[in-house]
Amino acid sequence: MTDFEEVYNQYFKDVYKYVLSLTRDPEMAGEITQETFFKALRSIDSFRGQCRLYVWLCQIAKNTWLTHTGKPRHQSLEDTQPTGVDSLEERLADQDTAFRIHRILHTLQEPYKEVFSLRVFGELSFRQIGELFGKTESWARVTHHRARLMIKEELK
């Protein structure tokens, strides 16, 4: 067995679950996951180990999904999330914590559940989320912030 086969066997299910959370379409998720591993194999020499291999694979998957959907890869500075060791989005990269967060998210009431999902998994701006709900950008920010607080509280 080659090293890349081991990587494929170890990470395929987790990358697929991540892509499925983005696409919400099992067939598309399978295609994007396969393409992700093909791209990773072609560019494995560029992996420098500055992050976990799983995180690198998920970034390839996300970029592949964005290419398929035609969504822009970069958000404006006002739409970026604060990063840090305690960021929920960074914790999603850890599969055990990600499962716990998904379980908690499933129990949240609306609109918190949908706003959080649209922001984190759908990567929509606060302005776009506000428009979807017929509300303001500020409403979307506050609702997302409250959802994050609820999730963090349940993680304790």
- Residues 56, 123: Cα–Cα separation, whole Å: 18
CATH of segment(s) 3-69: 1.10.1740.10
Q: What is the pTM for the complete model shown?
A: 0.47
Query: CB-side exposure of 99: number of CA atoms within 13 Å?
Result: 6
**pLDDT band at residue 76, thresholds of 50, 70 and 90?**
very low
Residue 35 has pLDDT above 60, yes or no: yes
**pLDDT band at residue 73, thresholds of 50, 70 and 90?**
low
User: Tell me, what's the pLDDT at 83?
Assistant: 39
User: Tell me, what's the pLDDT at 144?
Assistant: 92
The CB density around residue 16, as the number of other CB atoms within 10 Å, is 19
User: Tell me, what's the pLDDT at 142?
Assistant: 93
Mean per-residue pLDDT for 98-113? 84
- Residues 28, 65: Cα–Cα separation, whole Å: 9
Region for residue 16 given its phi and psi (left: phi exceeds 0; alpha: psi -120 to 50; beta: otherwise)? alpha
Average pLDDT score over the chain: 79
Domain ranges of the chain: 3-69, 79-155
Instruction: Look at residue 85 and give its three-state secondary structure.
Output: coil
CATH of segment(s) 79-155: 1.10.10.10
CB 130 within 8 A of CB 137: yes
As to burial, measured by CB atoms within 10 angstroms (0-12 exposed, 13-18 middle, 19+ buried), residue 40 is buried
**pLDDT band at residue 79, thresholds of 50, 70 and 90?**
very low
- Residues 40, 6: Cα–Cα separation, whole Å: 13
Mean per-residue pLDDT for 108-135? 83
- Residues 137, 71: Cα–Cα separation, whole Å: 20
